[in-house]
Amino acid sequence: MIPTLFRLIARRVFCNPLAPLRIGVLLAAVLFYGSSGFLFFELPENPALTWGDSIWYSVVTVTTVGYGDLYPSTFGGRVIVAMPLMFFGIGLLGYLLSVAASALVEAKTKEAHGMANLKLKDHLIVLNYPGLGKLENVLDELAADPAFGKSRDVALIDENLTELPPELVARDVHYVRGNPSRDETLARASIDDAAYAIVLSRLGRDPRSDDQNVVVALAIEARAPKVHTVVECVDAATEELLKKAGSDCVVCTSRFDAHFVSAELLNPGVQEVIAQLTSNLRGQQIYVTRFAGSKTVAFTDIEAKCRELAHIALGVQKDGKTTLNVDSDQKVVPGDGVITMGASRLAELS
């Protein structure tokens, strides 16, 4: 074990050293040569010189700054020390800049192609890339709500996207390429430190995408159950299975499509009303706000409080059930969700 470790260290340090190690050794050698040589030739002419002065002279010369406060006056100091120091300084500076530029380009390339390991916290992870338009709509809606915030980091996981589109790069979206149901891929996206996860249907209206989403939901819940997960499904029959997998919320697109079609047939124009109520980008929105009071109150008291805050109380969420247009004397206990309509989200009701 020890001989193997020694050979590994020797190969990395002596045979093929890392770029920072090479730069450090070269810089130390050049500075030592310049400092010691400057003192050797110039100290007899100027006894007041110190090691600090010689090191300062070497650094200023290597970096091509050249303040002129210290300079060699002897032939040896100029020819043997100063000239090699200037040439080596320019070469070393160019090498350092090239290494830094290469590292930066490599890091950007790896991130754009989904090869990087992300170090994020309290971020949103979007699993599966359904298309640019849909993903941008989702991000726009989320960014418009202060509860999510415009500055929250977003990471996309997909196994088929070759490179992150420029539109998402401009939004500072991070990308991890890999199978979203694999633990290694989720770890690269910092799933353990994420706040939210959205699993989208990658195949659009194809019910086969639900099979993958079930597996992805199981993988997320097995590794990071604290992450609030919303999963999209196409077939309504998959909803129950996704809930059993541990998903916090399930959105069935086909069921909502049917609601929109039937509602528009019976009440023409109602889809515009629903669109405004469910969009953070325009009109009034529907919010669910936790009742944080210290005692049980009647719903009529909640209605009065909401009117003070320019909101309309619509109903109550209690024990996982939603009730709209409730009786005024219905009791609302601390912890219940109050459904309201207004222009902006309420922090809480008390």
Q: Is domain 124-257 annotated with CATH 3.50.50.60?
A: no
User: Domain locations in the chain?
Assistant: 2-110, 124-257, 284-350
- At 200 the pLDDT is 92
DSSP 85-96: HHHHHHHHHHHH
Residue 13: the pLDDT is 52
pLDDT of residue 186: 94
The amino acid sitting at 230 is V
Cα gap 124→241, rounded to integer Å: 23
Q: At 335, is the secondary structure helix, strand, or coil?
A: coil
CATH of domain 284-350: 3.30.70.1450
Q: Which of 346, 340, 335, 323 is nearest to 295 (CA)?
A: 335
Instruction: Give the pLDDT of the chain (350 residues) as one tens digit per residue.
Output: 555 655 555 555 556 667 777 778 888 888 898 899 989 998 888 888 889 989 998 888 888 787 888 888 898 888 898 888 888 888 888 888 887 888 777 777 777 777 888 899 999 999 999 889 999 999 998 888 888 878 899 999 999 888 889 999 899 999 999 999 999 999 999 999 999 999 998 877 777 888 899 999 999 999 999 999 999 998 888 888 888 888 999 988 877 777 778 888 888 888 787 777 777 777 788 888 888 888 888 888 888 888 888 898 888 998 878 888 888 888 888 888 898 888 888 877 87
Closest CA to 181 of 128, 105, 259: 128
Domain 2-110 listed as CATH 1.10.287.70: yes
